[in-house]
Amino acid sequence: MDSIIQIQNLTKSYGNNLVLKGIDLDVQSGQIIGYIGPNGAGKSTTIKILTGLLTEYGGSAKIAGLEVSQHPLEIKQMLGYVPENAVMYDTLSPAEYFRFLGSLYGLDRRDTEQKGGELLRIFGLYDNRNSRMTSFSKGMKQKVLLISGMIHNPQIIFLDEPLSGLDANSVILLKEILQRLSQTGKTLFYSSHIMEVVEKICDRIVLLKEGVVIAHGTFQELQKQQHSGTLEQLFNQLTGNNEHLALADEFVQILSE
């Protein structure tokens, strides 16, 4: 297998604040990568660099052998991105939004609209395809967002907390879809705080803390290294210093004072 994403000594700073402190990462195509870490670890920054939203960075970030900052257009054509809590122009209907995106990707407008409608049907939203999204619930919008990130059939898909707002059935469905996608050779970059899901669906896990990769491997490998049962425990061991027991005690104590 060839590596589709190559990151070498990637750094990024906002002013004096060094957010990424030299990240190295090699992702094989066809894998689901679980990209986890506490808040502020630099996960979103990495994703923003890889998706071409942030063009100034140190080190090298290559997708399919192309440096991201040098070939933004080719790379954007290959990528799908589902941001966390993303806003869409919700006075448009899903069909119109897909059509809009189709135009921007240079796809046939009507095909894109049609395809979007079919994909909405899978999520049970076919009847809503021509309604303005202002009336949609959070879960409905999330479904539209998921489809809009994949509608151009990208090779690599970045997903940031993609399950938020979805009901249990949609979650099961989406997890299945993601696994099928990886089986067809697509690479998925999955960032989330829900450890159970990451543990279950990701082929490899990358743990980021304070701008540095502190653990990297399959779940089984990590388990062996750290002698821990679940990914949640492992996460806590590596990033939380096991303080949670003491903190929980303290919380309860303050309440009863």
Nearer Cβ to other proteins, position 120 or 238?
120
Q: Which residues contact 78 (CB under 8 A, 6 or more apart)?
A: 63, 64, 154, 155, 156
Q: Does 104 bind other proteins (CB under 8 A)?
A: yes
Q: Which residues contact 190 (CB under 8 A, 6 or more apart)?
A: 32, 33, 34, 35, 159, 162, 178, 198, 201, 202
Q: Does 100 bind other proteins (CB under 8 A)?
A: yes
Cα–Cα dist 85/162, whole Å = 9
Q: Select from 31, 44, 45, 51 the one that contacts other proteins (CB under 8 A).
A: 51
Q: Select from 8, 9, 70, 77 the one that contacts other proteins (CB under 8 A).
A: 77
Produce one character per residue of 110-133: b if its CB has 16 or more CB atoms within 10 Å, e if not. eebbbbbbebbeebebeebbeeeb
Cα–Cα dist 73/66, whole Å = 11
Q: Select from 12, 43, 62, 76 the one that contacts other proteins (CB under 8 A).
A: 76
Q: Select from 9, 89, 118, 247 the one that contacts other proteins (CB under 8 A).
A: 89
State the minimum distance, in angstroms, from the CB of residue 225 to other proteins: 36
# residues contacting other proteins (CB under 8 A): 41
Q: Does 56 bind other proteins (CB under 8 A)?
A: no
Nearer Cβ to other proteins, position 53 or 171?
53
Q: Select from 64, 92, 173, 194 the one that contacts other proteins (CB under 8 A).
A: 92
Q: Are 204 and 54 in contact (CB under 8 A)?
A: no
Region 123-142 residues binding other proteins, contact defined as CB under 8 A: 128, 130-132, 134-137, 140
Residue 96, burial from CB neighbour count under 10 angstroms (0-12, 13-18, 19+): middle
- Contact positions toward other proteins, by CB under 8 A? 51-53, 72-77, 79, 81, 83, 86-93, 95-96, 99-106, 109, 128, 130-132, 134-137, 140, 148
